[in-house]
Amino acid sequence: MKQFGLTFILMCFTLSLAAQIDTEKKLKIVGTEESKTDSSETVTLSPSKSIINPSNALNIPKTAPLLDFPEKEFSMFPQEEFGNPGELYQKRISNNIADLKLSKEEIERRNGSTTDQYFGDFKSDAEFVNVVYRDHGYTDGDIIQVLVNDDIVHARVYLTGGFKGFKLNLLKGFNKIDFLALNQGESGPNTAEFKVIDDKGIVVSHNQWNLATGVKATVIVVKE
């Protein structure tokens, strides 16, 4: 009876041990399978491919080969070469003057005479004359000085559009009257009209001048 009981206990222990070993084997297999399953589901990353379509890519122009140009000095005035730039301006000024073709009188009217003007000498038996003058052009501030026989009688006379002047008692012989241009006004040249009228109201001399600064106009009255 005791032997039967011992045998029964031994059998139960053996079965229990066998069942435990079998269970561990199953667990190990299941774990291995799950690990394999997880590993099989892992996504392997690979380098991405370019999404740019070669047909849509920008066409980069090819670099043209360098061209050899003859070296030429830069000039603001093509087609003409000068050793000195001033020669160009001199040439152009000369051409402009040549194109104008102004006479001496026209140049003097434009720029004013640079030489003294002599309007002649006139005989008179009058006791005196009235010398009057005015700006015959645009009133722009012309100023003159009046001299008689080289003596200053009016140091500064501002010319206006109306006649003004002085009475001159004539001396026997020459009575020289000078009109000296002190400036050329705002527009230039110094422009004026003058008259010399005797005591009977007769115009002895009448003329106009266009003078550069420092130039004078002269008229002479000779008393007989």
Give the list of residues 6+ apart from residue 191 with CB closer than 8 angstroms, or none. 135, 136, 137, 142, 185, 208, 209, 210, 211
Q: Among candidates 118, 147, 137, which has minimal Cα distance to 191?
A: 137
* Residues 115/215, Cβ–Cβ less than 8 Å: yes
Distance CA 140, CA 220 (A): 28
Task: For residue 128, give its domain range.
Answer: 113-223
Confidence (pLDDT) at 37? 46
Three-class DSSP category at 94: helix
Span 128-138, average pLDDT: 93
Say which CATH number the domain at 179 has: 2.60.40
pLDDT digits (tens, 9 = 90+) for 141-164: 999 999 999 999 999 999 999 999
Q: What is the DSSP secondary structure assignment for residue 13, as one 8-state letter?
A: H
Secondary structure tally for the chain: helices H, strands E: 3, 9
* 50-64 burial code (b ≥16 CB/10 A, e <16): eeeeeeeeeeeeeee
Question: Cβ(133)–Cβ(196) under 8 Å?
Answer: no
Residue 177 lies in a domain: yes
Number of domains composing the chain:
1
pLDDT of residue 7: 66
The tens digit of pLDDT for each residue in 1-41 reads 555 556 666 676 666 655 555 555 554 444 444 444 444 45
Side-chain-facing half-sphere of 35: CA atoms under 13 Å: 6
Strand pairing class (173-181; 216-223): antiparallel
DSSP-derived letter for residue 65 is P
Considering the domain boundaries, does residue 36 fall inside one? Answer: no
Is residue 70 domain-resident? no
Q: Please report whether residue 147 resides in a domain.
A: yes
For residues 129 and 206, is the Cβ–Cβ distance under 8 A? Answer: no
Cβ atoms 146, 157 nearer than 8 A = yes
- Looking at per-residue confidence, does 139 or 82 come out higher? 139
Does any domain span residue 42? Answer: no
CB count within 10 Å of CB 192 equals 21
Question: What is the percent of the chain with per-residue pLDDT over 90, rounded to a whole number?
Answer: 45
In order of 60, 134, 160, the CA distances from 165 in angstroms are 89, 9, 11
Task: Please say whether the dihedral angle defined by the alpha carbons of residues 65, 68, 69 and 72, taken in this order, is positive or negative.
Answer: positive
Is residue 190 within 8 Å of residue 183, measured between CB atoms?
yes
Residue 171 and residue 127: Cα distance in Å, rounded?
Answer: 8
Please indicate, yes or no, if residue 119 is contained in any of the structural domains. Answer: yes
Task: Scan for tokens 């501002």, then name that residue.
Answer: 158
Residue 199 counted as domain residue? yes
Q: Looking at the domain assignment, is residue 196 inside a domain? A: yes
